[in-house]
């Protein structure tokens, strides 16, 4: 089908392949060609494609009960919230259908906290340039990226951005109307940049001193992707509110925001809600997925293969100094910052049956299923090596 025959709103530019089946880290197109998937639906298929444990959870639930809405208690929500709380800073959880909705709820919770404390003037949300928090009005205003904001009407008041890593600009932006700071512990879309752990600790100290809240956007960095359940756990500090999605559902669309009891004090009966969020299907898969992610051997595996991947990417940087500027990210959320546009490299890799992503700042992005093996990583890195080599040869570099 050519693009002009399509009835899909043309906001994406997908390649021609149509994928019809997946298993583990592999995905097949409708011609029967097999690809190694190193992007996993943008860090979503944490346990790989169609993992039997999630198939079972989904189909068993599908035979019982799909949806009741939040007019009624959903047993799976209580179970999954208890697990999230057991393993995190949080006391309460609200389930959503997507990352954007989790961000939306997190931002509302932060402002409502200050209102509940008698400080309704505290509305300002400080974000970072190059961040990505989703596509709702609040989310695009929080990230401040002009290409997502322009033409959609006036910017919302109460959102400020400071340059990534600029501590002085951040301190200057904080004031008596600051409500919260929102940050991805590892920036995903913006270029796969990990925030140094020391910076996260400084942010926590600043927030405590100035009386604003910290929201971690772990939609991409969470769910075990960096080798701990939540990426911020490497730093030893905790946020007041956290948004999660992507990997937590292993491919079923779901997310959540988590908060301490204190940070959530304004979110009382009637002020927020959702029809679909936390429905029995999502909760069946979410519980089964979390149980797998929470096994110590799973994080052990992620750390082992991530170490291997990190070293292999450093090797690529050494072998292709004219093309690779930097190795970025953490765990199994990695980027190669290139001197060139990464899209042709991504396309050439697809021709070699390896799927990768790209991110801002000329970054080739890898976010494979967490269950990827060392041999599969080797295969992917060898393909990148060959493609970079061919590009250099062609460019006469
Ligand atoms: C993907 C993403 C979002 C938005 O999630 P959706 O499920 O696409 O709405 C928000 N924040 C980060 C860091 C993301 O990577």
Q: Are 191 and 264 members of one domain?
A: yes
The response to whether residue 194 sits with its C-beta less than 6 Å from ligand 1 reads: no
Q: Specify the residue for token string 């997507």.
A: 98
Structural contact between residues 339 and 322, judged by C-beta atoms closer than 8 angstroms: yes
Q: Are 129 and 258 members of one domain?
A: yes
Evaluate whether residue 165 is within a structural domain: yes
Q: Which residue owns the Cα nearest ligand 1 atom 6?
A: 99
Evaluate whether residue 32 is within a structural domain: no
Q: Are 303 and 287 members of one domain?
A: no
pTM strictly above 0.85: yes
Q: Are 108 and 224 members of one domain?
A: yes
Q: Are 123 and 193 members of one domain?
A: yes
Domain containing residue 275: CATH number = 3.40.640.10
What's the rounded mean pLDDT across residues 310-327?
A: 98
State CA 205 to chain mean position distance.
25
Would you say residue 230 has pLDDT above 80? Answer: yes
Q: What range does the domain containing 212 cover?
A: 53-293
Q: Are 120 and 254 members of one domain?
A: yes
- Alpha helices for 235-373 (secondary structure H): 280-293, 296-319, 342-351
Evaluate whether residue 114 is within a structural domain: yes
Q: Are 274 and 165 members of one domain?
A: yes
Q: Are 59 and 97 members of one domain?
A: yes
**What is the spatial distance between Cα 73 and Cα 45, in angstroms, rounded to a whole number?**
28
Residues 349-358: pLDDT tens digits?
A: 999 999 999 9
Evaluate whether residue 13 is within a structural domain: no
What strand order describes the sheet that includes 26-29?
Answer: 19-23, 26-29, 34-37, 354-355
Evaluate whether residue 341 is within a structural domain: yes
Residues 125-179: pLDDT tens digits?
A: 999 999 999 999 999 999 999 999 999 999 999 999 999 999 999 999 999 999 9
- Predicted confidence at residue 5, as pLDDT, reads 85
**What is the spatial distance between Cα 323 and Cα 321, in angstroms, rounded to a whole number?**
5
Evaluate whether residue 318 is within a structural domain: yes
Determine which one of 89, 94, 95, 132 is catalytic. Answer: 132
Q: Are 60 and 109 members of one domain?
A: yes
Would you say residue 79 has pLDDT above 60? Answer: yes
Where residue 391 falls (left for φ over 0; alpha for ψ -120 to 50; beta otherwise) is alpha
Strand partners, 204: none
Evaluate whether residue 158 is within a structural domain: yes
* End-of-domain residue from the set 266, 293, 320: 293
Identify the band that residue 38 occupies on the pLDDT scale cut at 50, 70 and 90.
very high
Q: Are 126 and 272 members of one domain?
A: yes
What's the rounded mean pLDDT across residues 263-289?
A: 98
Q: Which residue owns the Cα nearest ligand 1 atom 11?
A: 133
- Examine the residue annotation and report whether 217 is marked as an active-site residue of this protein: yes
Q: Is 334 exposed, middle or buried (0-12, 13-18, 19+ CB in 10 A)?
A: buried
- Examine the residue annotation and report whether 246 is marked as an active-site residue of this protein: yes
Structure tokens at 187: 């920036």
Q: Are 70 and 161 members of one domain?
A: yes
The response to whether residue 133 sits with its C-beta less than 6 Å from ligand 1 reads: yes
Query: How does the average pLDDT of the chain come out, rounded?
Result: 97
The response to whether residue 184 sits with its C-beta less than 6 Å from ligand 1 reads: yes
* End-of-domain residue from the set 274, 293, 312: 293
First-last CA distance in the chain? 38
Would you say residue 325 has pLDDT above 90? Answer: yes
Evaluate whether residue 22 is within a structural domain: no
Overall domain count for the chain: 2
* End-of-domain residue from the set 293, 310, 331: 293
E-only strand ranges, the chain: 19-23, 26-29, 34-37, 92-96, 124-128, 159-162, 178-183, 213-217, 241-244, 255-259, 324-330, 333-338, 354-355, 357-359, 363-366
Q: Are 235 and 341 members of one domain?
A: no
Residues 358-395: pLDDT tens digits?
A: 999 999 999 999 999 999 999 999 999 999 999 989 88
- Predicted confidence at residue 3, as pLDDT, reads 57
Closest ligand 1 atom, CA of 221? 13
């Amino acid at each position: 089908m050519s693009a002009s025959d399509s009835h899909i709103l043309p906001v994406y530019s997908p390649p021609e392949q149509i994928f019809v089946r997946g298993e583990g880290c592999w995905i097949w197109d409708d011609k029967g060609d097999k690809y190694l998937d190193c992007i996993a639906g943008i860090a979503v298929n944490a346990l790989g494609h169609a993992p039997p444990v999630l198939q079972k959870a989904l189909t068993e639930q599908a035979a019982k009960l799909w949806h009741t809405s939040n007019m009624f208690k959903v047993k799976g929500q209580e179970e999954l919230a208890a697990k999230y709380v057991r393993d995190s800073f949080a006391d309460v959880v609200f389930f959503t259908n997507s990352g954007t909705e989790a961000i939306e709820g997190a931002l509302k919770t932060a402002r409502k906290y200050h209102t509940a404390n008698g400080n309704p003037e505290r509305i300002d949300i400080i974000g970072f340039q190059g961040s990505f928090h989703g596509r709702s009005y609040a989310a695009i205003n929080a990230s401040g990226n002009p290409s997502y904001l322009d033409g959609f009407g006036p910017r919302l008041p109460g959102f400020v951005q400071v340059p990534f890593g600029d501590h002085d600009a951040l301190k200057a932006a904080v004031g008596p109307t600051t409500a919260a700071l929102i940050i991805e512990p590892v920036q995903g879309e913006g270029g796969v940049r990990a925030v140094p752990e020391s910076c996260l600790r400084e942010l926590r100290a600043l927030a405590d001193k100035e009386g604003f809240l910290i929201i971690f956007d772990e939609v991409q960095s969470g769910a075990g992707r960096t080798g701990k359940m939540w990426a911020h756990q490497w730093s030893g500090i905790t946020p007041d509110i956290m948004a999660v999605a992507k990997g937590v559902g292993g491919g079923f669309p779901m997310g959540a925001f988590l908060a301490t009891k204190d940070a959530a004090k304004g979110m009382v009966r009637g002020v927020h809600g959702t029809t679909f969020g936390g429905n029995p299907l999502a909760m069946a898969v979410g519980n089964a997925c979390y149980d797998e992610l929470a096994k110590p051997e799973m994080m052990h595996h992620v750390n082992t293969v991530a170490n291997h991947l990190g070293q292999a990417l450093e090797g690529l940087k050494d072998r292709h100094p004219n093309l690779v500027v930097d190795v970025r990210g953490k765990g199994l959320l990695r980027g190669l910052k290139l001197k060139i546009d990464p899209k042709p490299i991504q396309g050439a890799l697809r021709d070699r049956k390896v799927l990768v992503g790209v991110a801002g700042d000329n970054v080739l992005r890898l976010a494979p299923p967490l269950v990827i093996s060392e041999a599969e990583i080797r295969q992917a890195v060898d393909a990148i090596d060959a493609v970079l080599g061919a590009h250099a040869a062609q460019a006469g570099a």
